[in-house]
Amino acid sequence: MGMTQQMAEHQANIIDGRHHARKLESRVAAAATDLKTNHGITPTLGVILVEGNPASEIYVRKKRQKAESLGIKSIVKTLPPDTALSAIESQITAWNSDDSIHGILLQLPLPGRQDPYDLLQTIAPAKDVDALHALNAGKLFWQQTRQPMPCTPTGCLILLESAVKKFDGLHAVVVGASPLVGRPMAQLLLQKNCTVSIAHSKTKDLPALTRQADILVVATGNADLIRGDMIKPGATVIDVGINRLADGRITGDVCFEEAERIAGAITPVPGGVGPMTIACLMANTVTAAFHAHALELESLFKSADN
């Protein structure tokens, strides 16, 4: 059999995000039941949605449905598109001092793509279930684990743990450097003892870098940015990107058809990282509810058979 034929027959393992999300969700649901039956507490998530972004409205609906299915109450405060930042802040501060709200989520992006940094700092760090407050980002830097964990990167790590046996010394390349995904992802991979490179839009010769990656996590918002010949044979590839094509289909940042012939394991889009992000948000919310009542809870993110 010729080399080309062998290459053509290789098929990466598909990392099933829905399967791993269900496993995490069952732990979340069990913890929510424990809170309710043994302590009379209903874990509650407050979501602020500024109208005007159809994708955000879909994400909030999905989060709400998932919360309800796991025994988490959700309250959505919908504000008109022209809401002043001060009015959003008032809602946040009201929920900060409301003991019945355990998690606060400000759905991003803000209208007009305004910088959300200042508003995010008004969320009480213990209720910051998206882990975007500077204090929580700083605690991650210090390898602390009691604070809310960044949802998408934590979900990616759980998926990676299902595919990678030993992380020590592996070269992990993270493409994308946002505070939401790329930067905290790099921190988590560093904690796993990977050698981490972070690429972004100014990176020179991206293919030369990605070809060195044993672990490749891509989060840029560019459909098909990563082609098959940019992937090291056998690499584990996590595709965070969500891109809507002209025909309405959703695709990631990795050209899946090419990548699955080269990679060792890969996440699909949809059905990869997306479900994990929501599951991690739910885990942060239930954990915040335990901590708000000085109750201990073993990390929901860890399981014997990840």
Ligand X SMILES: NC(=O)c1ccc[n+]([C@@H]2O[C@H](COP(=O)([O-])OP(=O)(O)OC[C@H]3O[C@@H](n4cnc5c(N)ncnc54)[C@H](OP(=O)(O)O)[C@@H]3O)[C@@H](O)[C@H]2O)c1
- The active-site residue out of 66, 107, 232, 239 is 107
Residues 239-258 that bind ligand X (CB under 6 A): 240-243
The smaller minimum CB distance to ligand X, of residues 24 and 273, is found at 273
The smaller minimum CB distance to ligand X, of residues 173 and 263, is found at 173
| Catalytic-residue membership of 107 | yes
| Catalytic-residue membership of 63 | yes
Tokens of 206: 């991206």
Residue by residue, DSSP assigns 122-138 as TS-GGGBTT--SHHHHH
Burial-class residue 146 by CB neighbours within 10 Å (0-12, 13-18, 19+): exposed
Residue appearing with tokens 């994400």 = 59
187 near ligand X, rule: CB under 6 A:
no
| Catalytic-residue membership of 192 | no
Tokens of 87: 């009015």
The smaller minimum CB distance to ligand X, of residues 147 and 277, is found at 277
The smaller minimum CB distance to ligand X, of residues 90 and 212, is found at 212
Residues 124-183 that bind ligand X (CB under 6 A): 152, 175-178, 180-182
How many whole angstroms separate alpha carbon 171 and alpha carbon 300?
27
The smaller minimum CB distance to ligand X, of residues 101 and 251, is found at 251
- The active-site residue out of 66, 127, 128, 130 is 130
How far, rounded to the nearest angstrom, does the alpha carbon of residue 207 sit from its chain's CA centroid?
Answer: 25
- Which listed residue (222, 224, 261, 271) binds ligand X by CB under 6 A? 222
Residues 256-295 that bind ligand X (CB under 6 A): 273-274, 277
Q: How far is the CB of 281 from ligand X (least distance, A)?
A: 10
User: Taking contact as CB under 6 A, which single stretch among the options 23-31, 46-54, 72-80, 219-227 is the one that binds ligand X?
Assistant: 219-227
How many whole angstroms separate alpha carbon 261 and alpha carbon 250?
21
Q: Are 171 and 215 within 8 A, CB to CB?
A: yes
User: Taking contact as CB under 6 A, which single stretch among the options 34-42, 129-137, 234-242, 286-294 is the one that binds ligand X?
Assistant: 234-242
Q: Are 267 and 18 within 8 A, CB to CB?
A: no
How many whole angstroms separate alpha carbon 119 and alpha carbon 79?
15
Residue appearing with tokens 């839009």 = 201
The smaller minimum CB distance to ligand X, of residues 178 and 191, is found at 178
CA nearest neighbour of 281 among 113, 118, 59, 56: 59
Residues 195-214 that bind ligand X (CB under 6 A): 199-203, 206
| Count, residues near ligand X per rule CB under 6 A | 26
How many whole angstroms separate alpha carbon 30 and alpha carbon 297?
11
Total number of residues shown for the chain:
306
Q: How far is the CB of 219 from ligand X (least distance, A)?
A: 4
Q: Treating both helix axes as pointing N-terminal to C-terminal, what angle do 54-69 and 273-292 enclose, rounded to 10 degrees?
A: 60
Catalytic residues: 63, 107, 130
Interacting residues with ligand X (CB under 6 A): 152, 175-178, 180-182, 199-203, 206, 219-222, 225, 240-243, 273-274, 277
